[in-house]
A and B are shown apart, each in its own frame.
Chain A
Amino acid sequence: MPNMSLTKNPMPVQEPDVRNHNFEEVALGYTKEQAVDEANRCLHCKHKPCVAGCPVAIDIPEFIAKIKEEDFEGAYQIISKSSSLPAVCGRVCPQETQCESKCVRGVKGEPVAIGRLERFVADYHMANCKAAPVKPESNGHKVAVIGAGPSGLTCAGDLAKAGYEVTVFEALHTAGGVLVYGIPQFRLPKEIVQREIDTLKEIGVKVETNMVIGKVLSIDELFEDGFEAIFIGSGAGLPRFMNIPGENLKGVYSANEFLTRVNLMKAYREGSATPIQHAKKVAVVGGGNVAMDAARCAKRLGAEEVSIVYRRSEAEMPARLEEVEHAKEEGIVFRVLNNPTEILGTEDGFVKGMRCVRMELGEPDASGRRRPVEIPDSEYVLDVDCVIMSIGTSPNPLIRNTTKGLDTNRHGCIITEDESGQTSREGVYAGGDAVTGAATVILAMGAGKHAAKAIDEYIQAKK
């Protein structure tokens, strides 16, 4: 008997006024009962429209059917055929534009809470399934993976399972990519990422941290060292600034710097060795997930007022719906249709305000979204002591500058032939944000999977 409720089972969460003072996870996860009840909302559609909305085509009705039967481990096995990071994607996928956007239950009422169910299944598996992963027998072929973000880790995992000897080279001192340095603890506990990495190590993947490829070793040297193929999953980690006056004042951060200090370097913890400004009034410029994360971190560090300053309207915000909702609940102020023009400083060089101009929406631009245009004479000064620039990132030039014959486009993204990830260099594959520019975890993971398959075929064909 299907559950015909028009709304999803609500996600149990920490109360907004409690959670905006701590870094513990916001969403607490479904109970078994809630999961089964939600699973019963799925109509098990024959044509599976939801699957088409998932970039890695998880067999959604199949895994949900297992939840109905309370065979949670069975559900996990179905998901893990297509995804290697369900505990992550269940938490951070923009479901409203992907799987859930295609769900027939969403035509009238809310779609099935596919992401929440995926998270439930993954968490259940982690808590209850103790079977140690088995290390496959080596096929003697060596592959190098650059970058330990979702694309690199997925590629490494798939290749290791196929018997390859995989070494992941990571520039930072901790593996995980944006999952550890960008996305905060309260949205994605680092223990989850660590467990994924531990599992990879158990199946034989070597993870070498402190290895900035392009500096310590080049792509060519990796080939000389006997790696037969290389996957580049180095992400899009180069921050953009607005180039407005005052941007070098003390108290102006890129979101990358702010989040790295908070998340990777644990500056939020009492006694952390890494400093961070504990500002009173913070403006975060931008409207994506990164901006929401920065704003919510600033709030948790004790800021009295945190504003999102975004030049378009809320409808154009690229952030996940849930992040926007959570941010609002936590008291983040949304100043949409506002654009900064200058940051003002005190005599001793700290931020004391941000001059903004109000905007209105004009004709659609190249992105299809209505172009924001300035309203004349609408300037005002926002009272802030910290500004976090969160207006986008692009791929770091380190690798392309040190690798001959690796073609990139004018945005600095590595050019690949097709979804195999094959680059202009033989044996070199790439995927994730390094290819697409800043995108999503699931797309990066999918790219890692496709490249692993292509690398396997490439090496097998060489023999």
Chain B
Amino acid sequence: MYEILKKTILNPTVARMEIAAPLVAKKAEPGQFIILRVDEGGERIPLTVADFDREKGTVTIIYQIVGATTMALNQLEEGDCLHDFVGPLGTPSHTEGLKKVAVIGGGVGCAIAFPVAKKLHEQGTEVHSIVGFRNKDLVILEEEFSAVSDKMVMMTDDGSYGTKGLVTNALKELLDAGEQYDEVIAIGPLIMMKFVAKLTKEYGVKTIVSMNPIMIDGTGMCGGCRLSVGGQVKFACVDGPDFDGHEVDFDEAMERATMYKEFERHQYDEACNLFQKEVR
């Protein structure tokens, strides 16, 4: 059993938990993820290692409440335990040798992007962060990102905070202004990553995206997380989740993510009734 040591609400649908998981904390690197089950009989869901403390033996996760399992997770409080918590899974993000990088986070994707930005900053890489949210209420990790960024751009879709527009607008501006990046790292909704990759391809800038297909085991055993990358089949849980954004077939990935939409909606409604709570 894995105890929740700390829980912080970040915005109406996003929260952060610090979990006691010494063995995971010992090995975790930015870019890796864990798989958890909230309770016995629960579904297995992957969440990124948002932070870790090797000394304290803790791993931080940040989750957005989007459906039944994340809602069940959010019912737990400090002192409660998760039934299962396995990791670190996946391949760590490659950061060696990078001198200047643009890190782009969209929505809860910022939680995934942050540990990478932090590691880059700590190793002396110049980090330009572009973070985007739908509106001001949904902003998370602003301070954390500023602390590790040499330049930081805040975007909201509706202009209620920072600059109005999409992260791609901000990236284009920086590129047009002559910024030279060794790499762009883009993490967020598939549609965002698709358009960032499209843009950077025009500019010839290498782009890494973090893919989040539906997973079960996370060890390469089921093939459910497969993607087409450069015309080849890859298992995101072991070969990724980071991939070359110019090679990924985003349209296929977007299709595959909707596989269980109906079931998920039903489960979500049931969970809402169960917890008698209106989220969103």
Interface string of B206-239 (1 = CB under 8 A from A): 0000000000110111111011100001000010
A215 and B87 in contact, given A275-B263, A398-B238 (Cβ under 8 angstroms):
yes
Chain A interface: which of B117-125, B162-170, B187-195, B251-259?
Answer: B251-259
| Chain A positions 209 through 227: 1 when the CB is less than 8 Å from some CB of chain B, otherwise 0 | 1111001110000000000
Q: A349 and B256 in contact (CB under 8 A), knowing A216-B86, A260-B216, A265-B216?
A: yes
CA distance A332 to B83 in the complex (A): 38
Interface presence of B37 (CB below 8 A): yes
Q: Is A348 an interface residue (CB 8 A)?
A: yes
Instruction: Report the number of A-B residue pairs with Cβ-Cβ less than 8 Å.
Output: 107
Is the beta-carbon distance between A274 and B43 smaller than 8 angstroms?
Answer: yes
Is A82 part of the binding interface, using a Cβ–Cβ cutoff of 8 Å? no
CA distance A277 to B85 in the complex (A): 26
Q: How many residues of B contact A (CB 8 A)?
A: 39
Q: Is the CB of B84 within 8 A of A275?
A: no
Q: Enumerate chain A residues within 8 angstroms of B86, measured Cβ to Cβ.
A: 171, 173, 210-212, 216
The answer to whether A172 touches B217, judged by C-beta atoms less than 8 angstroms apart, is yes
**Chain A residues with CB under 8 A of B83:** 173
A234-252 contacts to B, CB under 8 A, are 237-239, 241, 243, 247-251
Bound complex: CA A83 to CA B204 (Å) = 63
Given contacts A210-B85, A216-B24, contact A257 B252 (CB under 8 A): no
Output the residue of A216, A217, A241, A261 with the most chain B CB within 10 A.
A216
Question: Contact at A250–B259, with CB atoms within 8 Å?
Answer: yes
Tell me which residues from 150 to 183 in chain A have a Cβ below 8 Å from any Cβ of chain B. 171-173
The residue in A215, A238, A265, A277 that gathers the most chain B C-beta atoms within 10 A of its C-beta is A215
CB distance from B115 to the nearest CB of A (A): 17
Would you call B217 and A239 a contact (CB within 8 A)?
no
Give the Cβ gap from B52 to chain A, nearest Cβ, in Å.
13
SS of B interface (majority): mixed
- Which residues of the partner chain A approach B24 to less than 8 Å between Cβ atoms? 216
Which residues of B are found within 8 Å of A260, using beta-carbon distances?
216-217, 221-222
Least Cβ–Cβ distance between B20 and chain A, in angstroms: 14
Q: Which of B72-119 contact A (CB under 8 A)?
A: 83-89
A253 to B43, CA, bound (A): 18
B223 touches A216 (CB 8 A): no
**Pairs A–B under 8 Å by Cβ, sample size 8:** A210-B86, A215-B87, A241-B223, A254-B224, A256-B221, A273-B68, A275-B43, A277-B259
Residues of A at under 8 Å CB distance from B?
171-173, 209-212, 215-217, 237-239, 241, 243, 247-251, 253-254, 256-257, 260-261, 265-266, 272-275, 277, 348-349, 396-398
Listed from nearest, the 10 A-B pairs whose CB atoms lie closest are A349-B255, A257-B222, A210-B86, A275-B260, A273-B43, A275-B263, A254-B223, A237-B221, A257-B224, A173-B84
